[in-house]
Amino acid sequence: MNTDVLAEIREKVDIVELISGYLPLKRSGDNYRALCPFHNEKKPSFNVNRSKQIFYCFGCKKGGDIFSFLMLHEGLSFAEAVRYLADRAGVTLPARHSGQERQRALREKIADLNRLAAAHWRSGLAKCDRARRYLQGRQVAQPLWERFALGYAADAWTSLYEAAKSAGFDDETLLQGGLVKARETGGYYDLFRDRIMFPITDGTGKVRGFGGRAIGETDIKYINSPETALYHKGGLLYGVYQAKEALRRTGVAYVVEGYFDLIAVVAAGIDNVVASLGTALTEEQARLLRRHVSRVALIYDTDEAGISAALRGVEVLLSCDLVPKVIRLPADKDPDDFVRAKGAEKFRAMVAEEVDFLDFLLAVYETDKADVEGRTAVARRGLELIGNVKDELKRSEYLKLFAEKLDMSERAMRAEFAKAVRKRKQEPEQPQRRLSEVEADVVKLLIDRPDLLEQARRTVRLDDVASTSFRQFLELVFLVPNGEEDAGEYLMRRATDPETRATLAGLLMRETSVESADKAIAEWMRSVSRSARQRKAEQLQREIQLAERQGDTTAVTNLLKQKAELVG
Ligand SMILES: [Zn+2]
């Protein structure tokens, strides 16, 4: 993305105005404040600064610029946020290269087609008594089918095809959009026929694809859109658009498997629910949820497939740093059956009895727990699950808890865990982006004071900075050209990674605690060169030892002289 265009958009869109469209901001000194939309809180720690054009929450440490806000709040990708804001600001985006342009045009055409299809099927439902009776039979009342924009695809071969053609869509778009199939004998026919239609939207409400439930006699109860330029099953959650507010308000997401399960849960009065559009939750879906919630409770069937999907889901949630819970349905019931048979109140009571994943695991293996073989098998499976937790402290707590629950020795469990970890191929660690207080002060000073930045650039060798996150930040700050007026703004433009942006926003909001900036910087530079000298001395010492062993006296004398100079 062209940085000039980003700067132009940033100039034209006022961050206070933008965020005011989503949250009630109140002025407080230089900043505007609100209750943070990204975590639950009673006192506002979400700050927006107009002159710096950034936002930052001191509670959950989320932050960034206008683009970051839309990405976090609306679940947009960076490119989507740019396009949306460019539109709002009246900035023309430069044309991309033709392949990308074609793909974008196709996605747009499919989106238009999906909109038409959804409307076509909605009016199909209004016209068809049989389909409405079917929904009534499944206790889906009118407000619910309206909320989820349900439709009905007629029992006909070319109903949608003809509607789309007369609206001006070509065969190619219909094929690429996955809504029709080509006949071997020429011509096309509708993929969805005699089915209740569920539009699958993304977080912004755009229809990406469809699911269809047959209402007549057929072997295939459900079919979904095939993968298209717009529809990628593992990356979407059914119902997330309707659930967004409730997810954010509660901080919890309930995840069910199917469309009717989701609608049954909503009918029972629980709005913060999404469906995973398949059996097991994918990492992409978990990351989508993480934008809105910190806790996820899985409500899957109790058959074998449901249990293994739940355990797989737990793994994914743990690895995405979400707190997994599992709700145990009675045998042979899915949420839809349960609500219909027992009513909303009983369902809500059951949901309230969520268990953590270790209890779930123990319950699943209840019968195996009796003998040694069974118990060690449960232990292994539990350790596998805990192995997905990235945070070391949390992992340790889980191990302790698990040993207690299983009534096994904690030491044996930790030893077994260490063994399992060694066996597993280690992924390279993500670079940490956290800075210490002193490091943060230094970076902040360098951003605020161009003269100090120039001095630091001359004096400090980045190789001598031991902390990785600090070095990465200095590298970034050192990119600010001499004479740049607003280093903060410049850096926000350069930083692409969301975590770096958030940390940066935190720095820009920071009231530096250091009394005298010059003194602090000078002290820091001295300590940097001190540790650099020390490292050089250690290096020379190793070389001296080597030369001594080889009996190279000339080299030894030489190196000793260098070392003396260094220390002196
Ligand atoms: Zn927050």
Q: What is the pLDDT of residues 166-198, one digit of tens each?
A: 999 999 999 999 999 999 888 999 999 999 999
Distance CA 49, CA 290 (A): 25
Distance 45 CA to ligand 1 centre (A): 7
Q: What is the DSSP letter of 258?
A: S
Residue 431 lies in a domain: no
Residue 128 lies in a domain: yes
Of residues 481 and 289, more confidently modeled: 289
**Do 332 and 347 fall within a single domain?**
yes
- At residue 239, the 3 state secondary structure works out as coil
Distance 184 CA to ligand 1 centre (A): 56
Band of residue 429 on the pLDDT scale cut at 50, 70, 90: very low
* Pairing mode, strands 323-326 and 295-298: parallel
Band of residue 368 on the pLDDT scale cut at 50, 70, 90: low
- Look at residues 231, 248, 278 and tell me which one is the last residue of a structural domain: 231
β-partners of residue 123 are none
Residue 7 lies in a domain: yes
The kind and range of the H/E element at 88 are helix 78-89
The pLDDT, as a whole number, for residue 433 is: 56
**Do 221 and 107 fall within a single domain?**
yes
The pLDDT, as a whole number, for residue 208 is: 94
Distance 142 CA to ligand 1 centre (A): 37
Band of residue 456 on the pLDDT scale cut at 50, 70, 90: confident
Beta-carbon contacts of residue 127 (< 8 Å; ≥ 6 apart)? none
pLDDT tens digit sequence for 474-502 = 888 888 887 777 788 888 877 777 778 88
Distance CA 522, CA 518 (A): 6
pLDDT tens digit sequence for 113-172 = 999 999 999 999 999 999 999 999 999 999 999 999 999 999 999 999 999 999 999 999
**Do 249 and 315 fall within a single domain?**
yes
**Do 144 and 44 fall within a single domain?**
no
Cβ neighbour number for residue 125 with a 10 Å cutoff: 21
Percent of the chain having pLDDT more than 90?
Answer: 38
* Residue range of the domain that includes 9: 3-89
Distance 36 CA to ligand 1 centre (A): 4
Distance 34 CA to ligand 1 centre (A): 10
Distance CA 568, CA 562 (A): 10
Report how many domains make up the chain. Answer: 5
The per-residue pLDDT of the chain, averaged, comes to 86
**Do 185 and 290 fall within a single domain?**
no
pLDDT tens digit sequence for 18-57 = 999 889 999 988 899 999 988 888 899 999 998 888 999 9
pLDDT greater than 70 at residue 233: yes
The pLDDT, as a whole number, for residue 220 is: 87
Residue 51 lies in a domain: yes
pLDDT tens digit sequence for 249-275 = 999 999 998 999 999 999 999 999 999
Band of residue 428 on the pLDDT scale cut at 50, 70, 90: very low
Residue 430 lies in a domain: no
Distance 437 CA to ligand 1 centre (A): 20
Distance 144 CA to ligand 1 centre (A): 32
β-partners of residue 323 are 295
**Do 85 and 122 fall within a single domain?**
no
Of residues 169 and 388, more confidently modeled: 169
Distance 24 CA to ligand 1 centre (A): 15
Structure tokens, 544 = 């001296």
Helices (H) and strands (E) in the chain, counts: 26, 16
Of residues 288 and 140, more confidently modeled: 140
**Do 274 and 224 fall within a single domain?**
no
CATH number of the domain that 135 lies in?
3.90.980.10
pLDDT tens digit sequence for 414-424 = 888 888 777 65
CATH number of the domain that 448 lies in?
1.10.860
**Do 354 and 273 fall within a single domain?**
yes
**Do 27 and 68 fall within a single domain?**
yes
Distance 64 CA to ligand 1 centre (A): 12
Place of tokens 């029972």: 268
Of residues 147 and 425, more confidently modeled: 147
C-beta of residue 86 within 8 angstroms of C-beta of residue 93: yes
Cβ neighbour number for residue 315 with a 10 Å cutoff: 21
CATH number of the domain that 317 lies in?
3.40.1360.10
Comparing C-alpha atoms, which of 165, 141, 408, 355 is closest to residue 266?
141
Cβ neighbour number for residue 40 with a 10 Å cutoff: 13
* Pairing mode, strands 46-49 and 31-34: antiparallel
Residue 567 lies in a domain: no
The pLDDT, as a whole number, for residue 369 is: 64
Once rounded to an integer, what is the mean pLDDT over residues 313-331? 90
- Look at residues 339, 361, 383 and tell me which one is the last residue of a structural domain: 361
Distance CA 534, CA 208 (A): 59
**Do 386 and 449 fall within a single domain?**
no
**Do 213 and 264 fall within a single domain?**
no
Of residues 525 and 236, more confidently modeled: 236
**Do 102 and 202 fall within a single domain?**
yes
Once rounded to an integer, what is the mean pLDDT over residues 527-545? 80
Distance 250 CA to ligand 1 centre (A): 14
Distance 73 CA to ligand 1 centre (A): 12
Band of residue 78 on the pLDDT scale cut at 50, 70, 90: confident
Distance CA 50, CA 348 (A): 44
Distance 505 CA to ligand 1 centre (A): 13
Once rounded to an integer, what is the mean pLDDT over residues 224-253? 90
Residue 30 lies in a domain: yes
For residue 248, how far is the Cα from the chain centroid?
14
β-partners of residue 63 are 56
Residue 568 lies in a domain: no
Place of tokens 């449960």: 378
Give the global pTM.
Answer: 0.61
- Look at residues 395, 423, 451 and tell me which one is the last residue of a structural domain: 423
Beta-carbon contacts of residue 538 (< 8 Å; ≥ 6 apart)? none
